[in-house]
Amino acid sequence: MSEITIGSPVKAHYRSGTYLGVVKELRGENYLVEVLAVQKHPLQGDLHNYGKLEDVFFHERKALAFHEKMNVKKSAVKRYEGEIPDYGISLQEAVEIYREKLAAEDTSFNSMARQKLDSLVMTYYKKLYNQELS
């Protein structure tokens, strides 16, 4: 595997989401990565009590925006060899994959997570990216 340097295309795991982007800076134990695509949508709910609804704050998490920068531990970054897809298309695919995963098991938690995801689509993703995300 080749070394990661400034300008390298990478896959980075950050706050329960996975993104494709490029390294903008080397920062000691971290890389500053510019987001170019979403590979896995961030999880909804309380990550410390995942799957629970009682006595927890149920978080709604947006995917990082196109060109947003994230400071990521080097251990969570891998070189990416493929073609980086269009941000809007990658976001739509990541949302659909997450929806399918949540629909696979009918639980109260998954229902709440789907509601949060649908809220993000209606209030944020459709307006910001002007795409038909069903």
Domain boundaries, the chain: 9-129
Is the pLDDT at 2 greater than 70, yes or no? Answer: no
Computed on alpha carbons and rounded to an integer, the radius of gyration of the chain in Å comes to 16
* Band of pLDDT at residue 134, cut at 50, 70 and 90: very low
Predicted local confidence at residue 49, as pLDDT = 65
Q: pLDDT: is 20 or 2 the higher one?
A: 20
pLDDT of residue 132 exceeding 50 = no
Burial of 113 (0-12, 13-18, 19+ CB in 10 A): buried
Residue partners of 69: CB distance under 8 A and separation at least 6: 24, 32, 33, 34, 35
Q: How far is CA 92 from CA 57, 95, 96, in A?
A: 26, 5, 6
CATH class of 9-129: mainly beta
**Residue 34 banded pLDDT, cuts 50, 70, 90:** very high
Which of 10-14, 67-71, 89-93 shows the lowest per-residue confidence on average (mean pLDDT)?
Answer: 89-93
What was the pLDDT predicted at 4? 94
How many residues appear in the chain? Answer: 134
Q: What is the pTM of this model?
A: 0.87
Largest CA distance in the chain: 46
Rounded distance between C-alpha atoms, residue 106 and residue 38, angstroms: 26
